[in-house]
Structure 1
Amino acid sequence: MAKRNKLTHRQKRQVGKNLSKKLNKDEALPQDDNLEPEESGVVVGRFGQHADVRDSQNQVTRCHIRRTIESVVCGDNVLFRRNKESGSAINGVIEAVSERDSLLSRPDFYDGVKPVAANIDQILIVSSLKPALSSNIIDRYLVASEDVGITPVILINKIDLADEVALAQVDTLTTLYREIGYRVILLSCKSGEGVDALQAILDEKVSIFVGQSGVGKSSLVNALLPEAEEQVGDISEMSGLGQHTTTSAKLLSFKNGGELIDSPGVREFALWHLPEERVTWGFKEFRDYLGGCKFRDCKHMDDPGCLLKEAVDEGKINPIRFENYHSILKTMAEQRPNHSNQY
């Protein structure tokens, strides 16, 4: 597939104007005298200009979103009003979004930094032996988790597919991340390995699955909540990549407490919106050495007096993580939008 040219800032502004015109042609919202009093709810799904809101009685109402509201995502606590007369597919209006305790976002080239989910207690980073077990991708999610201050847990799925070589790789990565201080759970939906351990950490928390397409997020949801009946996708034989099965984020509830947000699969979690210094800080074992290098503009490569490089050479920082760090910075530079062509 040919690479698409990037939009200039002028083009982006025009896209925004066109979108605004389109929204102004949307179906008019109900007048206030046609609405019930405000009540509280939580957003369990977002679909274009509408969102599904669950009330205190676990009833779900599909609502319009006031155009004055900047963003609405899964997990948001909101005030909404129902239509006095039902009968339409859209039976309410979201009036306001409460202040968020946490927000997970990801950069989108056309939309800027795009919110994914709100009020999350922990991020469950799902990787698997197929399509590929990649510490680089895991580290991208870990940096994103550290940046927003949400506790990450690493899930390595499809462990039943592991041969001796794969088991050695899993053992290496499991040891690496546990030594840094991250929790790692090995999983198999087929054998049931690790499912009880996963269920235990989900109780009484709001969690979100993130990970590449095809790593088995939907299969894990089905193992935890069989009634969810999530569609499960296959791995493409040509590309070796997973096929998208979840098309919009949704919030699911457990009978014994706790909630889970199943988000659309992303094959690569970009970090180009973050300053390089923030990415460096996102590798938490680096923090003891930051600010101590000989030169203030140290690139942490072969710079004289680089404390990070010395720590790698002395075995205090794992070379896999150090290599992933530089790989992430390189990819960020390549992905960051070019602002030189804005006029």
Structure 2
Amino acid sequence: MAPEPRAHANLIDRYLIAAEISGIEPILLLNKTDLLNDLNRAWLEPLLALYQDIGYTILHASTTERQGLVELKARLDERISVFVGQSGVGKSSLVNTLLPGVDLRTGALSEQSGKGKHTTTTARLFHLPDGGDLIDSPGIREFALWHMSPDEVLEGFREFAPYVGHCRFRDCQHEREPGCALKQAIEEGNITEQRFQSYKMILNSVDEKL
């Protein structure tokens, strides 16, 4: 993710669900930290704090200021990794910096929309000099989970796990049913309302395709 284009929590949650269900270790990387200012910090810092409290690893990087790249490279070495995210968050710029000589095409944000332009159109595999492989994926603006079942969507929210199966009713829809363990967890501050609403939004999109 990056300060620009603005990161959307629901899109991040979709990526996290896919990673959790696939057994992939997800790491959230805030790229382009050189673009941080008082305006975007106001929404970025609470967003990052939310995921950090859940237990996700947060990294920061800037290819312009060459910050955070050593730690990022250490995370990539001897692993198979993939960069995913919105168009314009700087995935290809990171590849160019980590692998000098690759020279992937990069693009500026659209002046009209503030959204990224699609400069990577196919996934590409790179071999890291110190071992490991890195996949640079095309930037996207939407990420669907139509192939997943409602149970898998629920399982993709890792902080929900202690409460799944503990509702009073086995077929609880986590709406207004009495004895809903998820609703009680929200009231007690163990699950955020933001993540729960994101879950419901994703679940509705999956249900529409079933």
TM-score, normalized by length of structure 1? 0.59
| Code of the aligned partner of 2:88 | G
Superposed CA deviations along residues 125-179 of structure 1, whole A, max 9, x for unmatched, are xx11111111111110000001111111111112221222322322222222122
Point out where structure 2 has 5 or more consecutive residues left out of the alignment. none
Instruction: Supply the AA of the counterpart residue of 1:181.
Output: G
Give, as a single letter, the amino acid of the residue that structure 1 aligns with 2:204: K
Corresponding position of 2:189? 315
| 8 Å CA contact retained: 2:149, 2:206 | no
What letter corresponds to residue 243 of structure 1 in structure 2?
Answer: K
CA distance in 1, matches of 2:178, 2:65: 51
- The question of 1:183 aligning with 2:57 is answered yes
SS at structure 2 position matched to 1:240:
coil
1:170 alignment partner, one of 44, 63, 77: 44
- Secondary structure in 2 aligned to 1:287? helix
Whose strand fraction is larger, Structure 1's or Structure 2's? Answer: 1
1:258 is aligned, of 132, 148, 159, to 132
- Aligned position for 2:114: 240
Instruction: Please tell me the root mean square deviation across aligned C-alpha atoms, in Å.
Output: 1.5
Distance of 1:195 and 1:215 partners within structure 2: 15
Which structure is richer in relative contact order (CA contacts within 8 A, separation 6 or more)?
2
Structure 2 residue 149 is the aligned partner of structure 1 residue 278? no
- Say which is worse superposed, 276-285 or 291-300, in terms of deviation: 291-300
Q: 1 CA distance for matches of 2:176 and 2:65?
A: 47
2:25 paired residue among 134, 137, 151: 151
- C-alpha displacement of 1:285: 0.7
Q: Distance in 1 between matches of 2:85 and 2:20?
A: 16
Deviation at 1:266, TM superposition (A): 2.1
Q: Contact 2:88–2:115 at 8 Å: present in 1 too?
A: yes
Q: Which has the larger radius of gyration?
A: 1
Query: What is the identity percentage for the equivalent residue pairs of Structure 1 and Structure 2?
Result: 50
The yes-or-no answer on 1:130 pairing with 2:8 is: no
Q: Unaligned stretches of 5+ in structure 1?
A: 1-126, 338-343
Q: Secondary structure at the match of 2:101?
A: helix
| Cα drift, residue 236 of structure 1 | 1.9
TM-score w.r.t. the length of structure 2 is: 0.94
How far apart are the structure 1 equivalents of 2:12 and 2:95?
20
Distance of 1:228 and 1:140 partners within structure 2: 30
What corresponds to 1:330 in structure 2?
204
